[in-house]
Amino acid sequence: MDPREEISKFGRKVVASGLTYAHFGNISLLSDGKILITSTGSNLDEIGVDEVIEIDPQTPCPADALASCEAPVHRAIYERTNARAVIHTHSPYAVATSILEEGPFEPMDGEGARFLGTVPIIDGEMGSLDLAKKASYALIFNRAAIVRGHGVFAVGASLEEAYIVASMVEHSATIRRLVNAG
């Protein structure tokens, strides 16, 4: 599948599955040595090929102005980890968990515990180099990290894998909140 179409497909999936809402969140993947990333302000469920921006994988470039404001975080993740795809969502239960708990988040359900292991909760301003550093270090040994009060960064060898990780984080956070409310 064309990588831009793949980004578009997973944009529809993350919105349809309630992991994020329309213009919140962003998606990227590595393709031919470049980062392809959703544009700033784009609705994830309506991404056309024009709304996928190509940016340099190492250094900030003019196209960054068109890319998602979280582009520095995506770039740092590719620099520091083995990830080949990144999905960032504003998943409600994961965000609630990061506000209510100090972290790291340890899934209580067996599947989440096995599949995700520990999910670090990190602090940092949206799109900042500080957040880029913290997120990329957190994702060297973990498949996902939650930015406190903000959202989830999920990584994988493919968008499919990153999507499963993002879904699992929200599922495990939902279980956690249901258990705590019980």
CB nearer Zn ion, residue 74 or residue 176: 74
CB nearer Zn ion, residue 72 or residue 151: 151
What's the closest the beta carbon of residue 70 comes to Zn ion, in angstroms? 6
Q: What are phi and psi of 28, to 5 degrees?
A: -145, 165
CB nearer Zn ion, residue 106 or residue 133: 133
Piece of the chain touching Zn ion by CB under 5 A; list 28-36, 116-124, 143-151, 161-169 = 143-151
Interface with Zn ion includes 72 (CB under 5 A)?
A: no
CB nearer Zn ion, residue 11 or residue 151: 151
What's the closest the beta carbon of residue 150 comes to Zn ion, in angstroms? 6
Q: Which helix (H) or strand (E) holds 37?
A: strand 34-38
Rounded distance between C-alpha atoms, residue 60 and residue 75, angstroms:
9
In one-letter notation, the amino acid at residue 52 is V
Rounded distance between C-alpha atoms, residue 42 and residue 134, angstroms:
25
* Residue nearest to Zn ion as judged by C-beta position: 151
Q: What are phi and psi of 167, to 5 degrees?
A: -65, -40
Piece of the chain touching Zn ion by CB under 5 A; list 9-17, 29-37, 100-108, 147-155 = 147-155
Rounded distance between C-alpha atoms, residue 47 and residue 4, angstroms:
9
Q: Which helix (H) or strand (E) holds 7?
A: helix 3-16
Q: Which of 151, 156, 163, 169 binds Zn ion (CB under 5 A)?
A: 151
Interface with Zn ion includes 107 (CB under 5 A)?
A: no
Piece of the chain touching Zn ion by CB under 5 A; list 12-20, 36-44, 149-157, 166-174 = 149-157
Query: What size, in residues, is the chain?
Result: 182
Q: What are phi and psi of 100, to 5 degrees?
A: -85, -25
Which residues contribute to the site for Zn ion (CB under 5 A)? 151
